[in-house]
């Protein structure tokens, strides 16, 4: 083999092993017996040790050096960019540290779940302190004297810094707060009432998944405490959850995760099991889940179709007509849970987490003070106190598994989705008439061609800029939210 072929063969095998490790995580969240957690931690650590060894393999450096300056086409050059980035990152992190992080975070997930169930942050705090210490050590190794949080952020959104996000979010926060205040003073739309059979929810949610283009021959829908998407290429799985009092939780969690899954399923098969065969960043990934869920799934046109599906499934459920149903779906309501937050308030939840985790990583905030800091910030932003830890600092799994730098990509994804929606609407003037029939193919096809099929070919911001025809900006998202909620609430 020449150097490029040898490098790519090594990369494909590494990607295949990473998919196996990901499947262990999927199993842990869906089917694994609770008592297996300690063993699973060892299994995950062993897999991480194997993957780390492959990523720092001296041959990778030799192959990259041999290929330096070689004239390659764009996909091949992009493959090298990703492999070089991964190799450089892995080489900075000691193998023992990588394995220990995998072991501790796997076990921490169970500790978090138990603490959440008993509403006892003190039961989780020592474990969280250990996770933070390990992640800070990893961040310092990666930063090499630079900003630790930026080093962590680059794992999820290459090319973006905390300072850049702080500026973008600083522009979002006052506008969102003002719109939220105006909406809270207006007459609220109707709420959904009644009990909705959970088996019927799952039947309709699978129909929704297919309506948004999810290929069930290469995926499956299961239930989990925290909905997620897992895998890439030919095996992409999603989870959702049901609540007999709130079918929207099930339906929109499913649509959200289908956005993630469709991204992975629609990447060019030429890139299968290579570094280009995955979504390029979590911000771009989140743009797909959020535009599926909100700009498409909560649009007036699509909710008109969903209203009919709800009536067919549940009979008369107390909402009079399609307009009332649209307002109900998009109702701005008080609540504690980020994943259940309405479209207007969602980013305020994310900005809270972004600021707190930056402070934790900078050692400006201690775990002992985290619950109080969370509660103070929440009350300042939302106007009412947190009632219990499971509705506050314990509600998300992310910190328990070491995902520091991940939260801001949710709001960055919303910003990207705003940009893509503006461009998509311009390109598809007849979109609403199609969505009113439950036909999302024009919208999802536009996203497939302009975003998803590229996989990791371009850098994150370039993906959005190419699709939009301009650099990303928070302006389209703010304009969309103002127009939508001004209309719904008669502001």
**What local confidence, expressed as pLDDT, does residue 339 receive?**
83
Catalytic, 430? Answer no
Closest to 96 (Cα-Cα) out of 146, 46, 133, 132: 46
The per-residue pLDDT for range 178-207, each reduced to its tens digit, is 999 999 999 999 999 999 999 999 999 999
> What span, in angstroms and rounded, lies between the C-alpha atoms of 349 and 364?
20
**What local confidence, expressed as pLDDT, does residue 41 receive?**
87
Structure-derived torsion over alpha carbons of residues 34, 39, 45, 49, reported in degrees to the nearest 10: -140
CB neighbour burial string for 361-377, b if at least 16 within 10 angstroms, e if fewer: beeebebeebbebbbeb
Domains of the chain: 3-146 (no CATH), 162-489 (1.10.1370.30)
> What span, in angstroms and rounded, lies between the C-alpha atoms of 109 and 207?
31
**What local confidence, expressed as pLDDT, does residue 135 receive?**
96
The angle subtended at Cα 300 by Cα 296 and Cα 302, nearest 5°, is 50
The catalytically annotated residue of 257, 286, 357, 474 is 257
**CA 274 to mean position of chain CA atoms:** 21
Taking only Cα atoms into account, the Rg of the chain, rounded to an integer number of angstroms, comes to 22
**What local confidence, expressed as pLDDT, does residue 230 receive?**
95
239 forms bridges with which residues in the sheet?
Answer: 222
Inter-residue long-range contacts of 128-133, CB under 8 Å, 24+ positions, other chains counted: 128/367, 128/370, 128/399, 128/400, 129/367, 130/104, 131/104, 131/105, 131/399, 131/400, 131/402, 132/360, 132/361, 132/367, 132/399, 132/404
**CA 406 to mean position of chain CA atoms:** 8
**What local confidence, expressed as pLDDT, does residue 168 receive?**
95
Give the pair of three-digit tokens for residue 427: 């390109």
What 3-state DSSP class applies to 231? Answer: strand
**What local confidence, expressed as pLDDT, does residue 1 receive?**
64
Whole-structure pTM value: 0.92
Please classify residue 49 by burial: count the beta carbons closer than 10 Å to its beta carbon, then call 0-12 exposed, 13-18 middle and 19+ buried.
middle
CB 97 within 8 A of CB 137: yes
The angle subtended at Cα 386 by Cα 353 and Cα 223, nearest 5°, is 70
Give the pair of three-digit tokens for residue 45: 């650590």
Residues of the chain with pLDDT under 50: none
Closest to 355 (Cα-Cα) out of 393, 408, 292, 429: 408
**What local confidence, expressed as pLDDT, does residue 311 receive?**
97
């Amino acid at each position: 083999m020449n150097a490029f072929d040898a490098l790519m063969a090594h990369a494909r095998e590494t990607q295949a092993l990473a998919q196996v490790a990901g499947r262990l995580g999927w199993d842990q969240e869906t089917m694994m017996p609770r008592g297996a957690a300690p063993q699973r931690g060892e299994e995950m650590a062993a897999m991480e040790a194997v993957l780390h060894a492959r990523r720092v393999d001296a041959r990778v450096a030799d192959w990259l050096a041999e290929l330096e300056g070689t004239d390659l086409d764009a996909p091949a050059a992009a493959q090298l960019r990703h492999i070089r980035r991964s190799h450089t990152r892995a080489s900075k992190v000691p193998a023992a540290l990588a394995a220990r992080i995998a072991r501790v975070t796997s076990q921490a997930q169970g500790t978090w779940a138990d603490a959440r169930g008993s509403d006892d942050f003190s039961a989780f705090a020592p474990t969280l302190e250990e996770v933070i210490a390990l992640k800070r050590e990893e961040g310092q190794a990666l930063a090499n004297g630079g900003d630790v949080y930026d080093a962590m952020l680059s794992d999820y959104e290459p090319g973006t810094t905390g300072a850049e996000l702080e500026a973008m979010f600083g522009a979002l926060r006052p506008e969102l707060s003002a719109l939220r205040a105006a909406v809270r003073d207006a007459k609220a739309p109707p709420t959904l009432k009644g009990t909705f059979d959970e088996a019927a929810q799952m039947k309709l949610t699978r129909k929704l998944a297919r309506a948004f283009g999810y290929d069930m021959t290469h995926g499956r829908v299961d239930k989990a405490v925290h909905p997620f998407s897992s895998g890439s290429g030919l095996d992409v799985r999603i989870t959702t959850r049901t609540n007999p009092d709130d079918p929207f939780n099930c339906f929109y969690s499913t649509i959200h995760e289908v956005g993630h899954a469709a991204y992975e399923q629609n990447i060019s098969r030429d890139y299968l099991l290579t570094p280009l065969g995955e979504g390029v960043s979590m911000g771009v990934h989140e743009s797909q889940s959020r535009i599926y869920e909100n700009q498409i799934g909560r649009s007036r046109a699509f909710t008109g179709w969903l209203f009919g599906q709800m009536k067919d499934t549940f009979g008369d459920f107390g909402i009079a007509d399609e307009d009332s149903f649209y307002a109900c779906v998009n109702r701005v309501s008080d609540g504690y849970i980020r994943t259940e937050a309405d479209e207007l308030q969602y980013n305020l939840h994310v900005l809270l987490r972004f600021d707190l985790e930056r402070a934790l990583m900078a050692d400006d905030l201690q775990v002992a003070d985290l619950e109080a800091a969370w509660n103070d910030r929440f009350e300042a932003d939302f106007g009412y106190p947190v009632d219990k830890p499971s509705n506050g600092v314990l509600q998300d799994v992310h910190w328990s598994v070491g995902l520091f730098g991940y939260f801001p990509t949710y709001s960055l994804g919303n910003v990207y989705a705003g940009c893509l929606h503006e461009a998509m609407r311009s390109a598809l003037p007849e979109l609403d008439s199609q969505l009113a029939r439950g036909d999302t193919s024009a919208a999802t096809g536009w996203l497939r061609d302009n975003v998803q099929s590229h996989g990791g070919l371009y850098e994150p911001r370039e993906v959005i800029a190419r699709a939009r025809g301009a650099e990303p900006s928070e302006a389209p998202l703010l304009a969309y939210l103002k127009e939508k909620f001004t209309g719904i609430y008669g502001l």
